[in-house]
Copies of this chain bind each other. A is one copy, B any other.
Amino acid sequence: MSDPTTAPRPTLEAVAARAGVSRATVSRVVNGGDGVREPLVERVRQAVEELGYVPNQAARSLVTRRHDAVAVVIAEPETRVFTDPFFALQLRGISKELTLHDCQLVLLLTEGRDDHARVGRYLAGGHVDGALVFSLHLDDPLPGLIRGAGVPTVFGGRPCWADGSRGTAPTVYVDSDNRGGAREAVRHLASLGRTRIAHIAGVLDQTSAVDRLDGYRDVMLDADPRLIVEADFTPAGGERAMRELLGRFPDLDAVFAANDLMAAGALRVLRAVGRRVPEDVALIGFDDMLPVAEQTDPPLTTVRQDIEQMGRLMARLLLRGLERRGGEAAGTPGGTPSSVVLPTTLVRRASA
């Protein structure tokens, strides 16, 4: 055995010479062997072994798919992850894409924010090649912990700092055009002749909720701010907000809710107080969450975002980023994948 404290460290070039292949081939093999023919892979592996070659620290940290595992972190308590179908849909997309690449989905569940330090420790512990993180909240310690863990990360939903306020490493995220979708919904309500259009907002410490509110405001320039009630993306929250709004504006004639679950809650309240939808009050949701949006009575007009596709894209961007990092380590040109903002579509059903 060579003594690492005295013997000169074998170089990539030495391995290439020993194996009779190019430097790039050695690099590719060391980084996972993609696209290298099996006999060459074998020769390189043998040379690596004979020389006791160890990739240097920087290169090692760039070696891709060491664990063939990707962590998914949802910044919500376990109970919400399993009751809001949004997360199941996003996970479905992620699971399909990771499985396609034989990469293990490692879902890190928590009871709440107090557990995020532990999630950070697990991420830093070298158990995964990268992380997919979604449902971030404004004052969440998670982003800092993830940066500290040093794992490549793709975010679901635009993180609040991605507007350019923090001058850190480029943030890669997948988002929907929340503001544009909200604008289209409210414009549609206005086109129906509705004038007292209320908005049930999501939790405003999330950019998706803020962007949808901004889209509402883009159209309702002079609206009474009391037409806006913040809720929490749950059906119960939608019910409470709807009661609050009816108390403030008994004559309101339209509601745009920031997701379908809250719209479903609002619908129950409207029905309970005898308002017909859409005749008395037109109602639009957001997500096109099935079966929720189709099974309400009347079925919901809503802004469709492709949640499963968002999950797939997150996984794809992360895996591509890992490959490129590997490519960079191997001396081939790479680049950071860019964020993606998916378009939304207004789906007209019976509620507006």
A interface vs B, CB < 8 Å? 1, 3, 67-69, 78-79, 82-83, 85, 88, 91-92, 95-96, 99, 102, 104-111, 115, 118-119, 121-122, 125, 127
Contact = CB atoms under 8 A, between A and B. Distances in A.
Contacts of A96: 111
A92 B78 contact: yes
Contact of A109 (B67, B91, B119): B91
Given A106-B107, A106-B122, 16 more contacts: A67-B122, A67-B125, A67-B127, A68-B122, A69-B127, A78-B91, A82-B85, A95-B110, A99-B110, A104-B115, A104-B118, A104-B119, A104-B121, A105-B109, A107-B108, A107-B109
Contact of A99 (B91, B102, B104, B115): B115
A69 B96 CA distance: 25
A91 B107 CA distance: 12
Contacts of A88: 82-83
Contacts of A92: 78-79, 82
Copies of this protein chain in the complex: 2
A91 B95 contact: no
A96 B92 CA distance: 24
A268 to B, nearest CB: 14
Contacts of A105: 78, 108-110
11 contacts: A78-B91, A78-B105, A82-B82, A83-B88, A91-B109, A96-B111, A99-B111, A104-B115, A104-B121, A107-B108, A107-B109
A108 B106 contact: yes
Contacts of A107: 106-109
B102 A118 contact: yes
Contacts of A68: 118, 121-122
A85 B92 CA distance: 16
A106 B79 CA distance: 15
Contacts of A99: 110-111, 115
A350 to B, nearest CB: 24
Contact of A127 (B79, B109, B115, B127): B127
Contacts of A82: 82, 85, 88, 91-92
Contacts of A69: 122, 125, 127
